[in-house]
């Protein structure tokens, strides 16, 4: 397709890398979640996200037109080429942080994917349409869990509040704006992420309120993930695990 | 709110297609009914098995006792005329 649209390539990497990095983090729970039922649910969520990754990165590879596949993009790029928001790469830490992060992300993805269904690019619209149903289920589940744990025992409330406090400074990056965002907006491919702010706030504050949790009153936001300027130290460790097989045995297949 | 820390057990029933009845597929643990349905969705419908899910707390099910097997079931065993095997069912009738 359009090898002449580097902004579209960048945009698609952001969508794909968000799904890939969160999908991998979520998959780390496989076999170790607090209950069998949660274990399977988390594995399902991870698989949904990896499925979305395949679609976004395959599209990105086509747009790039350099002969790379979605697998190449996932397994053979290094930290500085990843375009996910930082929030998704920090370690799971505990079940509370995992679910709080999932919730913050889902609360963005649902309005975001809804809006992307109206994209001027048919393929963006198609991927968004398919992913939205998954995101809606994820949001239902993560919001419920945040409420159950926040409004649970003293200990679960305290762990959830700690998770919210930790993640909060990472949430602002979801609404970042740079040349790529402006280009996508002007080409009718995607809305500006900042236009999701109200929907996100509505979902997040009402849920936190119901969960007896409070959002820190500090607008500071870590940035650097979605533009690749500065990832956290954690992404490299995660990629080392995720990519080791392809790095050690290049071209290995099932 | 119960004092136990264990989630109660739920029995899960799933309807595979419209027109069929719900079938028992297994059980799982969940804190409440709504969550049990979500867990059932994640545990038992991963391969497109269902169009509808019922859950019921296992404790709410009354079951017949295995020791009553004789009086409960054996009187029916020699009454073949209760089976509709003397009719030819057209294929179009579908599941009866």
Domains of chain A and any CATH numbers: 6-213+223-248 (1.20.1260.10)
Q: Is the pTM of this model over 0.90?
A: no
Q: Which residue of B has its CA nearest to A138?
A: B38
C-beta of residue A211 within 8 angstroms of C-beta of residue A115: no
pLDDT digits (tens, 9 = 90+) for A182-220: 999 999 999 999 999 999 999 999 999 999 999 999 999
Domain ranges of chain B: 9-93
Q: pLDDT in tens for each of the 96 residues of chain B?
A: 445 578 999 999 999 888 889 999 999 999 999 999 999 999 999 888 888 999 999 999 998 888 888 888 888 888 877 777 777 878 888 776
- One of 3.20.20.110, 3.10.20.520, 3.40.50.720, 3.90.79.10 is the CATH number of B9-93, namely 3.10.20.520
Q: B41 to each of A44, A132, A141, B15, B25, how far by Cα in Å?
A: 10, 17, 11, 12, 12
| ipTM reported for the complex, 2 dp | 0.74
Q: What are phi and psi of B10, to 5 degrees?
A: -125, 140
C-beta of residue A1 within 8 angstroms of C-beta of residue A62: yes
C-beta of residue A106 within 8 angstroms of C-beta of residue A88: no
CA A232 to chain centroid, in Å, comes to 15
Cβ–Cβ contact A141 with B under 8 A: yes
Count the Cβ atoms, other than its own, within 10 Å of residue B6. Answer: 8
Residue contact B39–A37, C-beta within 8 A: yes
Residue contact B29–A148, C-beta within 8 A: no
């Amino acid at each position: 397709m359009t090898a002449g649209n580097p902004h579209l390539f960048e945009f698609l990497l952001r969508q794909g890398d968000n799904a890939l990095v969160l999908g991998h983090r979520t998959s780390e729970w496989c076999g170790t979640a607090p209950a069998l039922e949660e274990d399977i649910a988390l594995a399902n969520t991870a698989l949904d996200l990896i499925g979305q990754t395949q679609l976004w990165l395959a599209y990105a590879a086509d747009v790039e037109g350099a002969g790379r596949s979605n697998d190449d993009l996932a397994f053979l790029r290094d930290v500085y080429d990843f375009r996910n928001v930082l929030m998704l790469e920090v370690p799971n830490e505990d079940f509370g942080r995992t679910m709080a992060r999932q919730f913050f992300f889902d609360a963005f993805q649902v309005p975001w994917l809804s809006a992307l269904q109206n994209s001027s690019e048919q393929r963006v619209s198609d991927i968004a349409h398919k992913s939205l149903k998954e995101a809606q289920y994820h949001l239902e589940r993560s919001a419920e869990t945040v409420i159950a744990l926040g409004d649970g025992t003293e200990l679960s409330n305290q762990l959830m509040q700690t998770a919210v406090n930790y993640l909060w400074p990472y949430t602002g990056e979801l609404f970042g704006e740079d040349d790529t965002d402006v280009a996508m907006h002007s080409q009718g491919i995607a809305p500006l992420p900042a236009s999701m702010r109200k929907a996100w706030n509505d979902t997040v504050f009402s849920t936190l309120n119901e969960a007896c949790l409070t959002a820190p009153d500090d607008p500071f936001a870590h940035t650097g993930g979605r533009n690749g300027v500065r990832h956290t130290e954690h992404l490299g460790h995660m990629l080392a695990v995720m990519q080791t097989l392809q790095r050690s045995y290049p071209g290995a297949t099932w | 709110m119960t004092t136990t820390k264990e989630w109660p057990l739920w029995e899960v029933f799933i309807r595979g297609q419209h027109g069929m009845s719900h079938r028992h597929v297994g059980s799982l643990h969940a804190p409440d009914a709504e969550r049990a349905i979500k867990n059932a969705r994640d545990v038992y419908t991963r391969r497109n098995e269902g169009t509808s899910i019922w859950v019921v707390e296992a404790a709410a099910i009354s079951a017949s006792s295995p020791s009553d097997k004789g009086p409960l079931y054996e009187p029916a065993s020699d009454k073949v005329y209760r089976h509709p095997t003397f009719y030819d069912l057209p294929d179009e009738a579908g599941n009866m």
